[in-house]
Amino acid sequence: MIKAAVLGSPIAHSLSPLLHTTAYKELGIAHSYEAIEVASGGLADFLATLDSSWTGLSLTMPLKEEAVALADSVDELATRIDSANTLHRRDGKWEATSTDVIGFVNSLRMHDVAMTGHVVILGAGATARAAAAACDGLANDITIVSRSIKRIEAMSGAVQQSELSFVDWSGVSVIEDADLVISTTPAGVTDSLELPSQVRAPFFEALYKPWPTIASSEWAKRGGLVIDGLDLLIHQGIAQMEIFSGVTFDKSHMYKLLRGVGISALK
């Protein structure tokens, strides 16, 4: 029996309950999975209310950094990016990891997008660090476009091999020279983004609601490939499903199933 939930704030919009429930039904696994509102600073108190029947937790903003601080053990990847989107209970202890990194990797691979050359990441939060770690060692250069320099140190830990640089939002024109652009900013931030008249790089927008964003629509109109955040949600979710269930399954089949139900829910 899997007993799990997705936590965050706001959380009502989350498609994770639909995706996890669909997957466990497909696998024939008894389960309970819901969305629970937990505000910033509230994860410790929430964990204290859980009994031993709980299997795991999916975490979204603003709880990914709190999870790293509170877990009984944190794996190397989550430590490196100072972010965990997954808590899994083993022998009564909470283990923290991140499936966001493999979510980015598998989404890009599915669309035959190479993480090479110059990668530009918009944003510098937990999701941006996961994107940077996914591209690290494959991209020659990773440029972070951030409205705040406060997150530079944390981002520097996520990138260990590629050349890393930072520009503020006034330097966002750096996207003109990018081989891949990944946006991890909140809804509305990229709405006023000035795009080149023609784009050659793929644009990975980590949002799935609202969709399409203004930036993603304009990018597609200019001839660029656009990858939506639903792909990221599904691929990171599939990795969580394997952790929670302990079952290995056909990921390609599961992706197609979850993509279908996700698209239908967003219409």
Q: What is the pLDDT of residues 121-167, one digit of tens each?
A: 999 999 999 999 999 999 999 999 998 777 777 888 999 999 999 99
Taking the C-alpha atoms of residue 258 and residue 20, their distance in angstroms, rounded to an integer, is 9
CA 263 to chain centre: 18
Taking the C-alpha atoms of residue 59 and residue 43, their distance in angstroms, rounded to an integer, is 10
- Residue 127: CB atoms within 10 Å: 27
- Per-residue pLDDT band for 50 (boundaries 50, 70, 90) equals very high
Tokens in use for 110? Answer: 């599915």
114-224 has the same fold as 2-98+231-266: yes
Residue 24's φ and ψ, nearest 5 degrees, are -70, -35
Locate the domains of the chain by residue range.
2-98+231-266, 114-224
Q: How far is CA 146 from CA 76, 155, 241, in A?
A: 25, 11, 32
Burial of 258: CB neighbours in 10 Å, binned 0-12, 13-18, 19+: buried
Which CATH superfamily, name and number, covers 114-224?
NAD(P)-binding Rossmann-like Domain (3.40.50.720)
Tokens in use for 61? Answer: 């903003």
Tokens in use for 150? Answer: 């406060």
Burial of 44: CB neighbours in 10 Å, binned 0-12, 13-18, 19+: exposed
Residue-wise pLDDT for 19-28, tens only, equals 999 999 999 9
Phi-psi region of 213 (alpha: psi -120 to 50; beta: other; left: phi over 0): beta
Which CATH superfamily, name and number, covers 2-98+231-266?
Leucine Dehydrogenase, chain A, domain 1 (3.40.50.10860)
pLDDT of residue 2: 98
The whole-model pTM stands at 0.95
226 pLDDT exceeds 80?
A: yes
pLDDT of residue 47: 98
Is the dihedral angle over the CA atoms 208, 212, 213, 217 positive or is it negative? Answer: positive
Taking the C-alpha atoms of residue 204 and residue 62, their distance in angstroms, rounded to an integer, is 21
Q: Helix (H, G, I), strand (E, B), or coil: what is residue 236? A: helix
Residue-wise pLDDT for 85-125, tens only, equals 999 999 999 999 999 999 999 999 999 999 999 999 999 99
